[in-house]
Structure 1
Amino acid sequence: MHHPRNKASVARFALTPVALVVASLLQPASVRAQDAGATSPKLRTSPLLQERIPAQARPQLPTFVEGDQIQGRTDLETVVEGHAELRRADTVIRARRLEYNNATDVARAIGDVHINKAGNIFEGPLLELEVGTFQGFFNQPRYRFLANDAYGEADRVDFIDDKHSIIRNATYTTCQRKPGPSWMPDWILRASTIAMDEEEEVGRASSAVLSFKGVPILPVPALSFPLSEKRKSGLLPPTIGLDNRSGLEVTLPYYWNIAPNRDATLYPTLMTRRGVDLAGEFRYIEPTYQGLVRGDFLPNDRLRDRDRWGFTAQHTQNSLRIPGLGATSLNLNLNRVSDDNYWQDFSRSTASLTQRLLANDGTLGWNWGPVNLSGRVQRWQTLQDPTSPIVPPYDRSPELTARYGKNNFWSGFDSNVEADYTHFTHAIPDIVRTTFPTQQEVTQPDAQRSYLMAQVARPWQAPGWFVIPKAQVHSRYYAFDAPLATGQTDAAVTVPTFSLDSGLVLERKVSLLGRNFVQTLEPRAFYVYTPFRDQNYLPNYDSAPLDFNAATIFSENQYGGNDRIADNNLLTVGANTRFLDPDTGAEAARFAVAQRYRFSDQHVVVPGQTTPISERLSDVLFGASLAYSPKWSADAVMQYNFKASQSVRSTVGVRYNPGSYRVLSVAYRRQQGISEQWDIGWQWPINDLWGDKGQDLGAGRGQGEGRWYSVGRLNYSVRDAALVDGIAGLEYDAGCWIGRVVLERMQAGTAINKRILFQIEFVGFARLGSNPLQTLKQNIPRYQFLRERVTTPSRFSNYD
């Protein structure tokens, strides 16, 4: 039967008796029996339901064919001539001629063959395929894959099943086709075979050559590459960098995808001035615990003439939960390096190992309702610099803590009780004793300290106001390992504290600059009284002044830790006003001011403070933040001394972010007599300079091919008239490949590390060179990757 090929006839054909008979002939008997008596619309499985059908059930799905002319024999074969089309589940086959054998489920397509398998496209002259199992071959195909928009050509494709295929004498690229017979993609992979594994989402090429701009750059006997963002085992592309201290650095990583919740990466690195560094990382995630372990070993560093190594491990665990008996937890944070110079020499290493104070901390906890018990051991490794030695912090070996806290435990009262025992120890290196021979931290003895803190509060609050009175007692006892200068081997002190916190929250509707807002006025008054108890003669193991800011100005004690409880008789007064969007509640602006008034001198001090604090009025804190427009935001904080008529400390930051891949941030930070710095960060398309504004392609897709981007961050010291840290570079997006060149200058103490990072990213395939992306992401506020998988493509985005 012949049907003229037009839209109207095809639409009718799908519902004609002939079409229903043909569809019935092509269905397995079991499916026909199930669907007997069903009306024609129900015979066609909904595409949304196909996603939920198990693979083993797909051969049982109905098969639909259409074309200009159909002939066949019941339960044996069907031949479709002219604009032939076959559909089953997520597979569509089109050709000039289509032969389908019902008994073997084999389709043979001839002439202008087109396959769409779940969004993956194959085109060529001849196909033979067992439709249910998707086994067969395709001669001289052209193909395009949905997951990464890659395409290529081959002599033949052998389909092993619906998830596995082998492409022979193949090409592979993600460069978009352009008009012209002589056009060649900027990069192309040629291989004798490419094995495509869509289940593992990885491709494996053998006897492969990667060419860029017509020049072979990476001939390899075998390589694997991702078909998506899914993790896979195998060698990763090498990274190459140039460091002013270590010389040329070449890293050849190997990634091991052990399990969905465990993986490992090896990072062997050749450093021309030092030797071969062997590094590795292991990560794991389980239902009740997770963590990572990373280490590196550099035997016989030629610049230091010794072995170098570093180690870090983090582990977090909720190991046991028993109904009615609470839960236990374990946290480990371990960091160790071979020598004092490690933090300067290996700035590329894990961030936790490029600091001078390396914590080694283990905590075991138990929680049962309002009760929490924990045991902790903490030891420090202090990396000394002869030009700038530092006093090591005290180790805690061990620290035992018990806490109890409950809100509304009786008639609206809240309670909190904390008890702690800590043994403080530390070793002072000779360089510190020589540099600070008289400092109390150097000369004071080790000790065992016990303290008990109990507090009770009674909040009264309602919409528009709150009042919170609070009483606290802090008592502690010391047993010293050696006598103090006074001859004491122990000491005890008890300090009571009373505070009263109160405030209002008022609102009104206002109109400002053509917009409607809800404006709040939030005045707050905080009074605290702590009588003087002499503590200045006691050693100081963990107390230090808190930073003076909007949060700490409303606190009972201006010292952190438990060795100093400041005597206070002061009142803090402040106010906030906020402008809120009445529809969304978003904050468009905030302004704040706060100041302390001291009624009497403060006599309790920490080492380094020699005289009591006698100023009645503290510095005034001013704060402001603006987000009036989504493109602009600004923050400012200033600590101002009216007596000296000068700013003690100020920070001002402005960010302009008009769209994707366009961000400029500028910050100014000044602390009187200590530092003054400018901090500038940016990511911006250079094409804007000649009027090319690019396209809005969405997150993770750049702004179109042929575009240059400038990236960087500069930290400049005004006092030193010198650049402290700096990153500056260029990115070029060619569409199917991205080139990056980044210059990095980082200061670590007196050492200055400089690196050149160069990378070519073949989009959807691999990255070659040194990797500056993490450096850019960590240092440039709101930096965006030019290519980043945001959503996984659906097959319906390429649906026939």
Structure 2
Amino acid sequence: MKPTPPLRSLPPRRLLAIAAAAALISSQGAHAGSQNRRPKATLDGSQVVCPLGTFICAPRPDNFALCRPNGLLEFYDPFLSKDSSLRDTAKTHVWADQVESPDQTIYHLTGHVKTVRADQELHADIADYNSDTTDYDARGNVHYQEAAHLLSADHIVGNTNNSTGVATGNVRFQMLDSHGNGTAVRGEMIDENRNRYSVATYSTCDIGRHIWEIRAKTIDTDQNTGRGVARNATMNFYGVPFFYTPYMSFPLNNDRQSGFLYPYFEHTGNAGYQFRIPYYFNLAPNYDATLDPRYYTKRGAMLGAEFRYLFPKTSGTFNIEFLPSDNYNDQKITPTAPDTQGQERYLYKFVNNTSLWPGWSLNTNINRASDQNYMHDFGDDLFSISTTFLYSSIYLNGSGNWWSAAVGGDMWQNVDPSQPNSVEPYKRLPRATFNMDIPFARWYDVGMTSEAVSFRKTNSVEGSRLDLYPYVDADFQGAAWFIRPKLAYRYTAYSLDSGYQNFYTATTTSTGTTFYPFPQSNPSRSLPIVSLDQGLIFDRSTSLFGTNYTQTLEPRLYYLYVPYRNQNNLPLFDTGLMAFDDWMLFAPNQFSGADRQMNANNLTAAVTTRLLDDGGVERLSATFGQIRYFTPQLVQTPGVAATNWSGSDYVAELSSQLNDQWTMSTEYLWNPNTRKTDLGTFTVQRRLGFDGILNFSYRFRQGQLEQYDASAVYPLTDRWRLIGDWTYSVMDKKTVEAVAGVQYEGCCVKVSLVARHYVTGYDGVITNLLPGQAIPGSDTAVMFELEFKGMGAFSGQTDSILRRDILGYQ
């Protein structure tokens, strides 16, 4: 029988190690833990710098580099063995200024006493040692070291073989596998991996410089479980107690543990002040759960939850947010706003991937909200606020060496309060696709893409569509050239449901637009598609500013021929005209979806040049190109007249990263027919030191948007940094989003205070607007996070928002 593959562990989550309230404590005691989605922290502060130009950078691990260098207890011996497994067979070596032994079993040692066995080392002024039992009694400046632990006291009594002992008087301890340290009145070494401290403190700050610490009646540490447990504990910040709990469990390492996440505070205009204190359940290595209770001062108590699972053949995540009754009446502010007071509000997301058998899988992605206003009312960033549709799908996917197939469906939910539900795209249910690509005779491929789908939408023409796209192509190439001919045939047929005559299609000419009912229930379209793609690649050695490069010159021609077919009798189910961009220079269709296939007799000419350094890294790339049209573009969507342009936009692109501090990219599209700029983008990024970033970008699309964006992470010192992001819309003459914040990172603590102002696109006023006019509205959120390093750092809401808003933030 084939063995079952082992279960993998879920990615970790970093937790706060603070128990919340006695009411939440179970009979075994509440546990707070550390689960880390990030790499494990390193004591030397080593980090991975996010590459220039990266959109979203991974969070950093805990960095203790700001702590005092070599901040260990003063008696630490770096040359002592770290291997505790050698204890059973190692000999005990003893040194002292004076040794007395009445029976050669009991030794009385005085003056600079030192004993060493494997990873164990003991220093004292005076010590008594029994060589038979390995009992010892050390007094005066007692220092003890082992592989993962340092301990000092006035007096220690113990047994070397059993790794036990009791320390009293000025007890200090430090854990070498983490940054934890503290003091106690009494310390007890229970065994090799467990210790107990009475009337003790614990912190990950520098020794003697505790910005925060736990003060407890007892603190137990267990290296086997990676946990510490404090009883009758108080959290102190700069000596001021701010939290008490009778039981607290905290991490000694970054292993996943059940416990409370960092509390989170925020304020938004739509929901009021928000407080969260999530609790993480480490149920098993391959599944876990998080409860996220929240309270909104305007809307009431909400429960959020997440469940993750990972099995050999299936994995997934289920998220839900549920508000039993909304306390807020939006109509108090705006009479035209929907009234959700007293209603249940919810949002759920379910993502699952299941491997059924070799080559086949079931993929599910379900997203639903209770109402159209949910994202607007509970979203706290521009990303969620600007979400207009929630997408859901379920597909059975299969693939082989030369084919792929899928059967399933798609649907959308409108969550834009400013739009009626009629704007939702068609439901594609059911939908099936089949694609194949079979190579033969070395150079050639024969293949096909196909789709069969049924479209459903209330108060719209409905029906089914079959789209078949067989082709034969070839790829002839050498070291400095390529030729890629392709011959394809596209057949698209429809079966419209009864009642199609009640809906209208349109024809647009220079004299206007004519509307008429769909003429038939089974329209179709068929046509050949011929293309020829060819190019050359030249290279030479060159130098720039004293640096050697390889420069390439890559001219390319792409010819496309598609005969004209009148397609005005075909419905528009999921098709639209795509905005012209650089990749469309070599695309066989300017429409998304299968409802329209453009006619073409076009030739694209483009040239690219690159600079490659000696390591093969592309330091500069520039492209220029245009499509020349030999026949008019007759196929258009309703409301758009045919064009007789001689050429497309001129496309120019330039990207550069001449060193590891600067990166730049720009794209420019100029329309020779309207003599206007259709698109212009410019982005530049500069790295400032180790963790500083400066970004500037400009985006312009004719008739749609013109925006400036500037963002920065500016390090004032090695501990303080300023954070800012500003996005301004020239067309709207208003700020789309503004972020300002400050962060402090010390040896053992991080503090973030961030304010965000962003456009919501909706403020409840949906009357007296012109067609297509944007609906105004904005909101402000203030977020605060406090993190104690080594206590389960949590990459919370503030960090995730900044990583999404600021290019290269880490």
Deviation of residue 596 (structure 1)? 0.4
**Corresponding residue for residue 736 of structure 1:** 748
**Aligned match for 2:440, one of 409, 421, 432:** 409
Deviation of residue 67 (structure 1)? 1.4
The reply to whether residue 652 of structure 1 matches residue 676 of structure 2 is no
Corresponding letter in the other structure for 2:669: Q
1:664-709 CA deviation, whole Å, 9 max, x = no partner? 000011122322111111101234xxxxxxxxxxxxxxx3xxx321
Of 719-728 and 104-113, more deviation after overlay is shown by 104-113
Counterpart Cα distance in 1 of 2:204 and 2:368: 44
**Aligned match for 2:803, one of 774, 777, 780:** 777
**Aligned match for 1:218, one of 243, 251, 256:** 243
**Aligned match for 1:580, one of 597, 607, 612:** 612
Deviation of residue 355 (structure 1)? 2.0
Of 77-86 and 550-559, more deviation after overlay is shown by 77-86
Deviation of residue 50 (structure 1)? 6.8
Aligned in 2, Cα 1:386/1:780: closer, same or farther, shift over 3 Å? Answer: closer
Residues 536-547 of structure 1: matches in 2 within 5 Å? Answer: 536-547=568-579
Deviation of residue 276 (structure 1)? 0.2
**Corresponding residue for residue 458 of structure 2:** 427
**Corresponding residue for residue 665 of structure 1:** 695
The reply to whether residue 65 of structure 1 matches residue 93 of structure 2 is yes
Aligned in 2, Cα 1:627/1:769: closer, same or farther, shift over 3 Å? Answer: closer
**Corresponding residue for residue 270 of structure 2:** 245
The count of aligned residue pairs is 689
The reply to whether residue 262 of structure 1 matches residue 287 of structure 2 is yes
Counterpart Cα distance in 2 of 1:509 and 1:747: 51
Of 275-284 and 541-550, more deviation after overlay is shown by 541-550
Q: Contact 1:648–1:671 at 8 Å: present in 2 too?
A: yes
Aligned in 2, Cα 1:99/1:493: closer, same or farther, shift over 3 Å? Answer: farther
1:552-602 CA deviation, whole Å, 9 max, x = no partner? 2211112222221111110111111111112x1111111111100011012
Q: Alpha carbon RMSD of aligned pairs, Å?
A: 2.7
Q: Contact 1:240–1:769 at 8 Å: present in 2 too?
A: no
**SS at structure 2 position matched to 1:540:** coil
The reply to whether residue 151 of structure 1 matches residue 181 of structure 2 is yes
Of 659-668 and 413-422, more deviation after overlay is shown by 413-422
Counterpart Cα distance in 2 of 1:517 and 1:92: 58
**Corresponding residue for residue 165 of structure 1:** 195
Q: Contact 2:251–2:790 at 8 Å: present in 1 too?
A: yes
Aligned in 2, Cα 1:743/1:537: closer, same or farther, shift over 3 Å? Answer: same
1:152-181 CA deviation, whole Å, 9 max, x = no partner? 100122223333222211112233246xxx
**Corresponding residue for residue 400 of structure 1:** 432
Deviation of residue 107 (structure 1)? 4.5
Of 749-758 and 67-76, more deviation after overlay is shown by 67-76
Of 595-604 and 131-140, more deviation after overlay is shown by 131-140
Deviation of residue 770 (structure 1)? 8.0
**SS at structure 1 position matched to 2:597:** coil
Of 257-266 and 131-140, more deviation after overlay is shown by 131-140
Q: Contact 2:382–2:737 at 8 Å: present in 1 too?
A: no
Of 107-116 and 251-260, more deviation after overlay is shown by 107-116
Q: Contact 2:751–2:787 at 8 Å: present in 1 too?
A: yes
**Aligned match for 1:463, one of 475, 479, 488:** 479
**Aligned match for 1:493, one of 519, 525, 548:** 525
Counterpart Cα distance in 2 of 1:512 and 1:149: 48
Higher relative contact order (CA 8 A, sep 6+): 2
Give TM-score, length-normalised by structure 1. Answer: 0.81
Q: How many percent of aligned residue pairs carry the same amino acid?
A: 29
Deviation of residue 150 (structure 1)? 2.5
Deviation of residue 380 (structure 1)? 1.5
The reply to whether residue 559 of structure 1 matches residue 596 of structure 2 is no
Q: Contact 1:347–1:753 at 8 Å: present in 2 too?
A: no
Deviation of residue 98 (structure 1)? 4.8
**SS at structure 1 position matched to 2:582:** coil
**Corresponding residue for residue 351 of structure 2:** 314
Counterpart Cα distance in 2 of 1:713 and 1:273: 28
Q: Contact 2:295–2:302 at 8 Å: present in 1 too?
A: yes
1:179-210 CA deviation, whole Å, 9 max, x = no partner? xxxxx633222111112232332222221112
Residues 400-799 of structure 1: matches in 2 within 5 Å? Answer: 400-406=432-438, 408-427=439-458, 443=460, 445-482=461-498, 483-484=500-501, 485-582=517-614, 584-609=615-640, 611-687=641-717, 703=718, 707-750=719-762, 751-765=777-791, 771-784=797-810
**SS at structure 2 position matched to 1:588:** strand
Aligned in 2, Cα 1:564/1:487: closer, same or farther, shift over 3 Å? Answer: closer
**Aligned match for 2:138, one of 96, 106, 109:** 109
Q: Contact 1:336–1:353 at 8 Å: present in 2 too?
A: no
**Corresponding residue for residue 397 of structure 2:** 365
Counterpart Cα distance in 2 of 1:446 and 1:98: 93
Residues 1-400 of structure 1: matches in 2 within 5 Å? Answer: 60-68=88-96, 81-140=110-169, 141-177=171-207, 185-303=210-328, 304-305=340-341, 306-321=343-358, 327-348=359-380, 355-386=387-418, 391-400=423-432
Aligned in 2, Cα 1:768/1:264: closer, same or farther, shift over 3 Å? Answer: closer
Aligned in 2, Cα 1:124/1:580: closer, same or farther, shift over 3 Å? Answer: same
1:616-636 CA deviation, whole Å, 9 max, x = no partner? 111111111111121111111
Q: Which runs of 5+ in 1 are unaligned?
A: 1-45, 179-183, 322-326, 429-442, 688-702, 785-800
Corresponding letter in the other structure for 1:284: Y
Deviation of residue 89 (structure 1)? 4.3
**SS at structure 1 position matched to 2:658:** strand
1:118-141 CA deviation, whole Å, 9 max, x = no partner? 243211123334445433332242
**SS at structure 2 position matched to 1:404:** strand
**SS at structure 2 position matched to 1:154:** strand
Corresponding letter in the other structure for 2:279: Y
Corresponding letter in the other structure for 2:550: V
Counterpart Cα distance in 2 of 1:153 and 1:675: 61
Aligned in 2, Cα 1:559/1:207: closer, same or farther, shift over 3 Å? Answer: same
Counterpart Cα distance in 2 of 1:451 and 1:125: 85
Counterpart Cα distance in 1 of 2:293 and 2:568: 53
Deviation of residue 88 (structure 1)? 4.1
Counterpart Cα distance in 1 of 2:703 and 2:194: 68
Deviation of residue 520 (structure 1)? 0.7
Deviation of residue 348 (structure 1)? 3.6
1:471-510 CA deviation, whole Å, 9 max, x = no partner? 1111122111133424411122212111111111111111
Counterpart Cα distance in 1 of 2:356 and 2:210: 54
**SS at structure 1 position matched to 2:423:** coil
Deviation of residue 461 (structure 1)? 0.6
1:282-326 CA deviation, whole Å, 9 max, x = no partner? 1122333322110011011012211100100111232323xxxxx
Counterpart Cα distance in 2 of 1:590 and 1:66: 70
Of 89-98 and 365-374, more deviation after overlay is shown by 89-98
Deviation of residue 735 (structure 1)? 3.1
